[in-house]
Structure 1
Amino acid sequence: MRTRISLAVAAAGLALGLTACGSSDAGDGNVADCKSAIAEQMQAAADTDAEGHRPAACIGIDDKTLQRIAGELLEDELGEFEKELEEAEVIR
């Protein structure tokens, strides 16, 4: 359960860090590859408290899309966390 909380916090930090020094120019980046790279970065951030940055796979992806991707990943993690809590009968 602690891992889920860490992932959620990491995702929130990444959503802010991804665009802090990124480009707002739309480019030819592959959104699916970018999303995978961000998911990997979220896991690494949860494990090591590393700060987020724009992964190489996300170069060329505009800031708005990066924020959407990070939000989707955060929603997924929070949904899984809520499901685990319900299964553990912590919340109903």
Structure 2
Amino acid sequence: MKTWFYTIEMTLLVMVGLRLISGLIELTVAGLILKFNSIEKAMALNAMLAIIGPTIFVTSIALGLIGMSDKLSMSKFLFIGAGVALILIGIRK
């Protein structure tokens, strides 16, 4: 008897894990902001999230590209890389 867990790729599980960790960090920071009840501390915590979010985003994209490396041509890799770079440039403040 084969369960559905055996059909999920390891790369996909790692990407899901990264997103779960990211979500838990976001929820934890939201709770800390409420607990501290301070705009200054809220700004400092948000600044930390501004570092964590893009790091998890880029790591997740990189893992996905590595997992798909046998299915994509070099030109498609370049287009995807350019798209990720444009997203990161676009969200800069």
**Alignment TM-score, normalising by the size of structure 1:** 0.49
Relative to its length, the structure with more helix (as a share) is 2
Mark the structure with the bigger radius of gyration. 2
**Per chain length, whose mean CA-contact separation is higher, i.e. which structure has more relative contact order (CA < 8 Å, sep 6+)?**
1
